A and B are shown apart, each in its own frame.
Chain A
Amino acid sequence: MNVLLTLSIAATLALFFGVLRLKNLATPVIVIGLLASLVFNAMEWNNTTSIFNDMMLYNNFTVAFASVGLFITLILVLFYSELSAKHEFHLPEILAIMLFGTVGGIVLLSFRNMVMLFLGIEILSLSYYVLAGIRKQNVYSNEASLKYFLMGAFSSGFLLMGIALIYGVTASLNLNEIAGYVNNAKGIVPPYFLVGVLLILSALLFKVAAAPFHFWTPDVYDGAPTLITALMSSVGKLYSFGAFVLLFNSCFIPLIADWEVILWIAALLSMSVGNITALYQKSVKRMLAYSSIAHAGYMLLALVGINNLTSGSVLFYALAYALASVVSFVVLYIVRDKKGSYDIASFNGLAQKNRMLAVVFTISMLSLTGIPLTAGFFGKFYIFNSALQSGYYWLTAFAVINSFIGAYYYLKPVVAMFASKSDEEITMPALSNSLLILLGILIILIGALPGFISGVI
């Protein structure tokens, strides 16, 4: 609860500093708010608290997921305020909306009532609709925002219909009571209930950008400002998957026979559609957008055979993916700022001009591919392990083949960086430079010592 309050107050203060001619104070307030909420979040460890008569429950699952979300948000806020500040008139508002989105995300990680599920998803999505369209004069940003908004509102409709049908059968919106109903029913529930579960499932698949509902992803990720895309693909995915695991883990496990087929079809489709379409992209940004669909597919793999390994492996994978994706989008932003294009050709000769950028970008691409000694490898390892435990042998084999396809397109910009030559200088601001190095070291460190994170939940 302290975390939510701190974030909201910091964001509101930043908004007011923005309009009271104290713009310089806005960024420090946001950063302090994020740091304070990281501390408050850590203090909730092993201290399960129920908030507002069981509307929310702050437990270790929440703390673990939220600390990753808060950390990545902090990093992105720092990047944004250093790299983008010169283009930006509305900086306090943008940073404040990022924080409001985080509030929605943390609600999604701690809800115990369908009302809070709906509110969390809406707070998160409404912030992202605005952030996607934050470049008001840019037609691409406009288009991304409208598409995201219309499709997001559409999927919210499905989510609500699902909640309403489940409420109609169980007469309760409380997750514990719904779980009690499902357990008593012993796998035989009225068709209304099943339709409700399927509607909620499709809405959540939409939010995590998984395959049959992925059509908005490339356009939105491509059109939104690059650092915002980094936010949406890293923490946005983390929060949505957290909600997914939380909801299905607590309520719908006895009905697994009814929904696992849909989930593994979605996982299969996401992996193949994401990876195969990414092969044909010339723009690195669009390639990363398609690859994020494929990563959603890998993460669904852990959910297919839901077991006690699921939340730990999803957390690890989300962390590894978030680190690598933040690094790759930030480097892409810097390259695009100099060369004016997202094409793979823009990366030509980067290794000559700025060795640090090239090395960090290579590390992030290797991590996204899943090469050993990077965080991405253990992310995939735990996910596949979890799927194997539930007996999904051939689905795991398919995922392994898919990772090999991924290697091909991830290494294209890397090859361009090291193989070709270029004359343009690329210099980096000091803070972003050290943050990138920090992230690169973290990816390697987590890859070398995975036990730190994997044993947490």
Chain B
Amino acid sequence: MNTIFQQIPIEHYITLSAILFCIGVLGVLTRRNAIVLFMSVELMLNSVNLLLVAFSMFHANPAGQILVFFIMAVAAAEVAIGLAIIVMIYRNLKTIDIAELSKLKH
């Protein structure tokens, strides 16, 4: 069955994912709040998910969608660990601004 998703050319999906990915990368490179950095990383992962699902539809091959499941599960584990680290830092330093985390440079 030819669904509406397959009528959208694959290039559009690639472009959208690339744009989302670049927004994520720029977010990581320019922001200073650890939580926002973290959200940018999640945006990168989700753009990849979108691309994988699009390719999976395009090739009619389910492997890509399985990888998406794993990415989602691992991203949840990453969220858990990341938030735990951020909470730990906030308890000690009362800030999550990564620019102030430069004790090791000296």
Contacts and interface: CB of A to CB of B under 8 A. Distances in A.
B74 A149 contact: no
Nearest to A119: B70
B41 A142 contact: no
Q: How large is the interface on A (under 10, 10 to 19, 20 to 34, 35 or more residues)?
A: 35 or more
Contacts of A44: none
Contacts of B98: 146-147, 150
A150 B63 contact: no
A341 B67 CA distance: 46
Contacts of A147: 98, 101
B67 A115 contact: yes
Nearest to A151: B28
Interface stretch (A70-78, A156-164, A324-332, A448-456): A156-164
A150 B38 contact: yes
Contacts of B103: 139-140, 143
A198 to B, nearest CB: 14
Interface of A: 114-115, 118-119, 122, 126, 129-130, 133, 136-137, 139-140, 142-147, 149-150, 153-154, 156-157, 160-161, 163-165, 167-168, 171-174, 192, 218-219, 222-223
Q: How large is the interface on B (under 10, 10 to 19, 20 to 34, 35 or more residues)?
A: 35 or more
B92 A139 contact: yes
A144 B41 CA distance: 18
Interface of B: 10, 14, 17, 21, 24-25, 28, 34, 37-38, 41, 44-45, 47-48, 51-52, 55, 58-59, 61, 63-64, 66-67, 70-71, 74, 77-78, 81-82, 85-86, 88-89, 92-93, 98, 101, 103-105
B78 A126 contact: yes
* Interface SS majority for chain B: helix
Given A126-B81, A145-B88, A168-B10, 17 more contacts: A115-B66, A139-B92, A142-B88, A142-B89, A142-B92, A143-B103, A146-B34, A153-B82, A154-B44, A157-B44, A161-B47, A163-B67, A164-B64, A167-B63, A167-B64, A167-B67, A168-B14
A149 B71 contact: no
A150 B74 contact: no
B12 to A, nearest CB: 13
B54 to A, nearest CB: 8
A54 to B, nearest CB: 12
B74 to A, nearest CB: 5
Contacts of B66: 115
Given A139-B92, A150-B98, A153-B78, A164 B41 contact: no
Contacts of A154: 25, 28, 41, 44
A167 B45 contact: no
12 contacts: A118-B74, A122-B77, A126-B77, A146-B101, A147-B98, A149-B82, A150-B41, A154-B25, A154-B28, A161-B21, A168-B59, A172-B61
A172 B24 CA distance: 26
Nearest to A163: B67
Contact of A164 (B24, B28, B48, B88): B48
Contacts of B63: 115, 167, 172-174
Contacts of B82: 149-150, 153
A387 B28 CA distance: 37
Nearest to A174: B63
Nearest to A157: B44
Contact of A219 (B24, B28, B77, B105): B105
Given A146-B101, A171-B61, A222-B104, A122 B74 contact: yes
Contacts of B58: 168
Contact of B70 (A118, A129, A137, A222): A118
The 6 closest A-B pairs by CB, nearest first: A157-B44, A171-B59, A168-B55, A160-B48, A153-B41, A219-B104
B48 to A, nearest CB: 4
